[in-house]
């Protein structure tokens, strides 16, 4: 999630990384499963959701609990 205060990466409803920096766009669009240096994610990305606003931690945890039930 990202807002004016920075960004956080959540995995299974838990924030695993936070930053005071915001992601920037370069006009190239959104990439998923790719890392710099031409390396791609080897695995499965499941239950990916993109929202038009930053979610609160409680909302993310609730969504994860619903998907896990």
pTM: 0.60
Strand, coil or helix: what is 17? strand
**Rounded Cα gap, residues 33 and 59, in angstroms:** 24
* Chain segment 3-36, per-residue pLDDT in tens: 777 788 888 888 888 888 766 666 666 666 766 6
**Rounded Cα gap, residues 33 and 45, in angstroms:** 8
* Chain segment 38-50, per-residue pLDDT in tens: 677 777 877 778 8
pLDDT of residue 45: 78
Which H or E run includes 57? helix 57-68
């Amino acid at each position: 999630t990202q807002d004016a205060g920075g960004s956080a990466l959540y995995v299974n409803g838990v924030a695993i990384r936070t930053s005071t920096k915001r992601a920037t766009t370069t006009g190239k669009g959104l990439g998923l499963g790719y890392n710099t240096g031409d390396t791609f994610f080897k695995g499965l990305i499941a239950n990916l959701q993109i929202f038009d606003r930053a979610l609160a931690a409680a909302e993310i945890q609730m969504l994860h609990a619903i998907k896990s039930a």
